[in-house]
Chains A and B, each alone.
Chain A
């Protein structure tokens, strides 16, 4: 399977706990994106990387969120001190370049109790 993979697919956590998600992009893609989707809405941009450099962060990404892409390969998204409002589907996508389509992974569904 050469598509975008995400792990875990589901995460249930208690409020105040930290969680970390992983994304493995398509291997030759140098751009990697994180989005968040809530019920009834389209995905909303969170942040993106070109190789290992994080080039933009949305204002949706509070100080409790941090993303990394060491060595320009896989990426991790960490949420510290989770809140119930963080419950959402977290989607990762990758692309070859800016005007190439983004390919999405299956997402990680986070539920904060």
Chain B
């Protein structure tokens, strides 16, 4: 039962263009969403988050959009830079059975081409 899905295992984008990473979720009880970036041999690094009371949150080159009716969120990176090449995970959290654990998607490998 994959409650958080990232349907694109990989994405290739030219440097300077916009990267759009997508994530879908099934559980309507999720109310807090996060994006993490992961380099090989390192733990995930927090990028940006959004709560369900908002539909957009920006932090520099990173913007997260949340569409609650579609149970969909996306991460926009603009302009994309070579250092953005990594695996990106979306994660969701909420008052599910009293826990605050994160439920992660499978990840999308982003490659930025010079």
B103 to chain A, nearest CB (A): 7
Q: How far is B102's CA from A91's CA once the two chains are assembled, in angstroms? A: 13
Question: Digit string of B10-45 for contact with A (CB within 8 Å is 1, else 0)?
Answer: 000000000000000000000010101000011111
- Check A56 against B98 for contact (C-beta < 8 Å): yes
With beta carbons under 8 angstroms apart, the residue of A41, A45, A56, A91 that contacts B43 is: A91
Interface residues on A, range: 20 to 34
With beta carbons under 8 angstroms apart, the residue of B41, B46, B101 that contacts A103 is: B46
- Check B99 against A43 for contact (C-beta < 8 Å): no
With beta carbons under 8 angstroms apart, the residue of B49, B98, B104 that contacts A43 is: B104
- Check A45 against B106 for contact (C-beta < 8 Å): no
Given A48-B100, A56-B101, A98-B100, residue A42 in contact with residue B106 (CB < 8 A): yes
- Give the residues from 70 to 106 in chain B that come closer than 8 angstroms, CB to CB, to chain A: 89, 91, 93, 97-106
Q: How far is B101's CA from A31's CA once the two chains are assembled, in angstroms? A: 10
Q: A48-B100, A104-B36, A106-B42 are in contact. List 19 more A-B contacts (CB 8 A).
A: A4-B43, A33-B101, A35-B102, A42-B105, A42-B106, A43-B102, A44-B104, A45-B103, A56-B97, A93-B43, A99-B32, A99-B51, A99-B93, A99-B100, A103-B46, A104-B43, A105-B43, A106-B41, A106-B43
Q: Which residues of A contact B (CB under 8 A)?
A: 4, 6, 31, 33, 35, 40-45, 48, 55-56, 58, 91, 93, 98-99, 101-107
29 cross-chain CB contacts under 8 A: A31-B100, A33-B101, A35-B102, A41-B107, A42-B91, A42-B104, A42-B105, A42-B106, A43-B89, A43-B102, A44-B104, A45-B99, A45-B101, A45-B102, A48-B99, A48-B101, A55-B99, A56-B97, A56-B98, A56-B101, A93-B43, A98-B100, A99-B100, A101-B34, A102-B46, A103-B46, A105-B43, A106-B43, A107-B43
